[in-house]
Amino acid sequence: MKNNWAWVNFRQTSFEGRAQDSFEHPLMPPWVFAAGNQVFAAWQKFQRPPKPLPGERIAAVDAAHSSCALVNLEAFRAVDGFDLEFWQCQSDVDLSLRLRERGHRVGVDLSYTIKHHGAGGKTGQFARVHDLYRARLRLYERAYPRSRHYLRPTLLVRHALELIWFALIAPFKKDGRLRSRLELLKGVWKGYR
């Protein structure tokens, strides 16, 4: 790929036509991740969508997801490819960060739309949610070393509050997240391992 692009994704939709995420820009800061979905939704409203530079089709992003991606294999091999510690979540974000650290560009070509079956992070199954937290914590503690001072304590408080909330609504509404929040609360200090 020319112009030093190493990792490029495209606009994505499901086969039903629903928009899917294919990149992160800017990358959600650790404190936003720890604060939860409502804070993330509010934070996201203040972010601008990426735009290509004049004369280019590809817009630079902090991280491009691995579904439907074009890869510069020379750059991919130079950073040792995917880190196997990231089993199913965040391997693409980690790779994007490492490519950018080495001076390569990561982007999204919004002029093409790809139909993508599934959107892994939205399945709702606990194993996937657990792996997402484990991987995101690892990613942040590696990429943002200062987050080691506050991320786990903040997540502990968040999970405790979520556990209390789901316990309070349990008599009125059947919700499987009560058990998952207990597991997340128990796992946060061990890095969700």
Please state the domain extents for the chain. Answer: 5-120, 123-190
DSSP per position, the chain: --TTEEEEEEEEE-TTS-EE--EESSPPPHHHHHH-HHHHHHHHTTPPPP-PPTT-SEEE-SEE-STT-EE-HHHHHHTTSS-TTS-SSSHHHHHHHHHHHTT-EEEEEEEEEEE-S--GGGS--HHHHHHHHHHHHHHHHHH-GGGGGTHHHHHHHHHHHHHHHHHHHTTTS--THHHHHHHHHHHGGGT--
pTM here is: 0.88
- For residue 119, what pLDDT is reported? 58
- For residue 124, what pLDDT is reported? 58
Task: With a cut of 90, say whether residue 59 has pLDDT above it.
Answer: yes
pLDDT tens digits along 75-133:
999 999 999 998 778 999 999 999 999 999 999 999 999 998 865 544 558 888 889 99
Identify which has the larger pLDDT, 99 or 177: 99
